[in-house]
Amino acid sequence: MRIATWNVNSLKARLPRVEEWLEYAQPDVLCLQETKLADKNFPSMAFSALGYDSAAHGHNQWNGVAILSRVGIEDVTTGFDDETIDPYEGDARLVAARCGGINVVSVYVPNGREVGTEFYDRKLVWFDALHGWIAKQYSPTDALVVAGDFNVAPEDRDVWSPKAFEGSTHVTEPERAAVRRLEEWGLVDAFRHQYDQDGLYSYWDYRRGDFHQHRGMRIDLVLVTEPLAEKIGWALIDRNARKGKQPSDHTPVVIDIDV
């Protein structure tokens, strides 16, 4: 089973590249973030033509998530459950489904903007809600994949220059603690399960020629429960998808699980 996640920064702008990538990479499941599309505008027909069913969750021109699957898609839910208070209520940042016997969650964690702002504070509260929701919905012994743009670089080796990010969001201790808390519950960073080296990024700012200068961050994560972690065949960040015409500023993260 090949599972991938990709923040496409507008599915409308990126549809040709997503179609091209699906044909090239042949994922069984693809989690999307920043679709920036209301559900009524989601291009489900384009994906059907390539053999994928889809579950979309979007309201307007901001955020928006989806799951594409060619191994079936059932029990679709959007957002947290009714009892969970969502500090970003109104945004579309989470969609879950069961695909080919695996529980899949596509997440788009709030950016947080600047440390010290209420956006940053609510990002941490959103992480609390995510942790609580996962713990309520699933067990660490379930086959579960939580994939998406976490807007956190888990460690210093996940950014091109820790010094350049001092005082910025994505690298603060509370944000990193929020990711560790998910790991302590029972999720494993699939990419780190396979690779230790630094310099492997999933996001490069469009500005300053950051991609070509290799100034990036690894903020797109595929987290899996232990029963799946022990079956990971390989993992990779498809850096090539950041090249060429009209790329997203993120690139896909892909894992193969022997199930």
Partner DNA sequence: ATGGTAGCCCTGCTA
| Residues contributing to the site for DNA (CB under 7 A) | 9-10, 12-14, 36, 61-63, 110-111, 113, 119, 206-208, 246
- CA–CA dist 30, 190 (Å, integer): 15
**Complex with DNA: residue 70 or 242, whichever CB lies closer:** 242
**Complex with DNA: residue 14 or 192, whichever CB lies closer:** 14
Q: How far is the CB of 205 from DNA (least distance, A)?
A: 7
Q: 132: helix, coil or strand?
A: helix
**Complex with DNA: residue 136 or 208, whichever CB lies closer:** 208
Backbone angles phi, psi at 62, to 5 degrees: -115, 155
Q: How far is the CB of 61 from DNA (least distance, A)?
A: 4
Asked whether 173 and 156 are in contact (CB, 8 A), the reply is no
Q: How far is the CB of 37 from DNA (least distance, A)?
A: 8
Q: How far is the CB of 208 from DNA (least distance, A)?
A: 5
Q: Quote the distance between the C-alpha of residue 4 and its chain's center.
A: 9
| 200 secondary structure, DSSP code | -
Residue 97 has which token pair?
């489904």
Q: How far is the CB of 100 from DNA (least distance, A)?
A: 30
| Nearest CA among 191, 190, 188 for reference residue 179 | 188
Q: How far is the CB of 51 from DNA (least distance, A)?
A: 25
DSSP 90-155: TS--EEEEEETTEEEEEEE-----STTSHHHHHHHHHHHHHHHHHHHH--TTS-EEEEEE-S---S
* Sheet architecture: strand order including 187-189: 74-78, 94-99, 102-108, 144-149, 220-225, 187-189
- CA–CA dist 210, 204 (Å, integer): 6
